[in-house]
Amino acid sequence: MLRVYIADTDSSFIARVRQVLSRSRGIEIVGTTDNGRRALKDTFGLRPDVLLTDFQLPELDGFALLKETQQLSHAPQVIICTHFYSSDCMEFAFKNGATYFLCKPIDYERLSEVISLCTLHFHGEGTDEAAEADQHAAARRLTLQLLSDFSISPALKGSVYMVEAMQCLLDNHLLLRNLSHGLYAELSKRMHATVPAIERALRNAIGIGYSHSAMKKVFSNRPSNKEFLEYLYGALNALRNRDSDHHKL
Question: Taking CA 41 as the corner, what is the angle to CA 38 and CA 47, rounded to the nearest 5 degrees?
Answer: 125
In this structure, the answer to whether residues 86 and 155 fall within a common structural domain is no
Q: What is the CATH number of the domain that holds 231?
A: 1.10.10.10
Residues of the chain with pLDDT under 70: 85-88, 90-91, 117-134, 242-249
Predicted pLDDT of residue 240: 76
In this structure, the answer to whether residues 102 and 199 fall within a common structural domain is no
Q: State how far the Cα of 200 lies from the Cα of 140, in Å rounded to an integer.
A: 21
Q: State how far the Cα of 222 lies from the Cα of 210, in Å rounded to an integer.
A: 6
In this structure, the answer to whether residues 86 and 178 fall within a common structural domain is no
In this structure, the answer to whether residues 106 and 147 fall within a common structural domain is no
In this structure, the answer to whether residues 141 and 226 fall within a common structural domain is yes
Predicted pLDDT of residue 111: 83
Full residue range of the structural domain in which residue 105 is found: 1-122
Query: What DSSP character marks residue 182?
Result: I
Exposed / middle / buried, residue 165 (Cβ in 10 Å: 0-12, 13-18, 19+): buried
In this structure, the answer to whether residues 221 and 172 fall within a common structural domain is yes
Look at the pTM and tell me if it is higher than 0.85: no
| Domain termination site, one of 122, 157, 181 | 122
Predicted pLDDT of residue 243: 56
Contact predicate 173/127, CB 8 Å = no
In this structure, the answer to whether residues 107 and 63 fall within a common structural domain is yes
In this structure, the answer to whether residues 22 and 42 fall within a common structural domain is yes
Q: What is the CATH number of the domain that holds 63?
A: 3.40.50.2300
In this structure, the answer to whether residues 89 and 132 fall within a common structural domain is no
Q: How many domains does one find in the chain?
A: 2
List of residues 6+ apart from 71 with CB closer than 8 A: none
In this structure, the answer to whether residues 168 and 224 fall within a common structural domain is yes
| Domain termination site, one of 63, 93, 122 | 122
Predicted pLDDT of residue 103: 73
| Domain termination site, one of 99, 122, 145 | 122
In this structure, the answer to whether residues 160 and 185 fall within a common structural domain is yes
Contact predicate 36/57, CB 8 Å = yes
Predicted pLDDT of residue 124: 44
In this structure, the answer to whether residues 163 and 217 fall within a common structural domain is yes
Going from the C-alpha of 14 to that of each of 4, 17, 20, the distances in angstroms are 12, 5, 10
Residue 194, SS3 per DSSP: coil
Residue 52, SS3 per DSSP: strand
Predicted pLDDT of residue 185: 95
